[in-house]
């Protein structure tokens, strides 16, 4: 939700009010593309929740297929563009920067959620690490297409997002065993510290 507001404001800050970017149109399109479907979905869910629990439609598989199609079509639109000017060295640098940024975000959220005065449980920490640092193409690509509509280098500026999405999946799958073992050991340690000590008989 913050991105819907912050993104156009950042454009206004960096491009200036003299720019021809239609900020009102950007706000309205982002609202219609992101907020309205979410609100409608939450309202409809309240009325058909019981039916959904009985029938259990395969929404998980449907959403995965839709996400796969979005990634596929975005890759096609990006690299089918003959005007894209991206050499191999630049691509390697982008991949390195994105992996570094992703790792830095995960490390910072880990430090934040495990600080001494934090009330987060180990399970909370795991949720924070993955949920707060992972972003989806389903929001990023529509936002790019709305904000930079008609921009000739749209394919080029979507490359970091195309790399970020697979990078977070790869890093997540690699870090899951380590994070899981940390969470289990941390939970066991907390249980031991919370157990009442047996009275010492004299």
Q: Can you give the pTM of this predicted structure?
A: 0.65
For residue 80, the 8-state DSSP code is T
Task: List Cβ neighbours of 176 (8 Å cut-off, separation of 6 or more).
Answer: none
Q: Which has the higher per-residue pLDDT, 5 or 165?
A: 165
| d(C-alpha 122, C-alpha 179), whole Å | 10
Q: Return d(Cα 82, Cα 127) in angstroms, integer.
A: 41
Residues 94 and 31 in one domain: no
198 domain-assigned:
no
Considering the domain architecture, whether residues 66 and 111 belong to the same structural domain is answered as yes
Number of domains comprising the chain: 2
Q: Give yes or no: residues 8 and 98 share one domain.
A: no
As a whole number of angstroms, the distance between CA 65 and CA 102 comes to 25
Q: Over the stretch 117-176, which tens digit does the pLDDT of each residue have?
A: 888 889 999 999 988 887 777 777 777 777 777 777 777 777 888 888 888 888 888 888
Whether residue 73 has pLDDT greater than 90: no
Residue 197 in domain: no
Q: Are residues 84 and 28 in the same domain?
A: no
Which residue is associated with the tokens 């990078």?
167
In-domain check, residue 193? no
Q: Quote the domain boundaries for residue 85.
A: 58-187
Say if residue 70 is in the same domain as residue 151: yes
């Amino acid at each position: 939700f913050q991105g819907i507001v912050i993104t156009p404001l950042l454009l206004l800050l960096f491009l200036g009010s003299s720019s021809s970017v239609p900020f009102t149109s950007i706000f309205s399109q982002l609202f219609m593309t992101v907020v309205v479907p979410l609100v409608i979905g939450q309202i409809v869910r309240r009325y058909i929740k019981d039916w959904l629990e009985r029938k259990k439609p395969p929404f998980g598989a449907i959403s995965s297929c839709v996400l796969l199609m979005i990634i596929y079509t975005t890759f096609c639109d990006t690299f089918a563009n003959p005007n894209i000017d991206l050499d191999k060295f630049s691509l390697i640098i982008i991949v390195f920067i994105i992996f570094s940024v992703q790792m830095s975000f995960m490390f910072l959220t880990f430090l934040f959620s495990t600080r001494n005065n934090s009330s987060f449980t180990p399970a909370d920490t795991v949720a924070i690490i993955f949920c707060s640092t992972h972003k989806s193409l389903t929001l990023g690509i529509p936002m790019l297409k709305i904000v930079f509509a008609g921009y000739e280098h749209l394919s080029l500026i979507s490359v970091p997002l195309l790399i970020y999405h697979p990078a977070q999946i790869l890093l997540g799958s690699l870090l899951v065993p380590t994070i899981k073992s940390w969470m289990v050991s941390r939970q066991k340690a907390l249980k031991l510290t919370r157990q009442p000590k047996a009275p010492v008989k004299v």
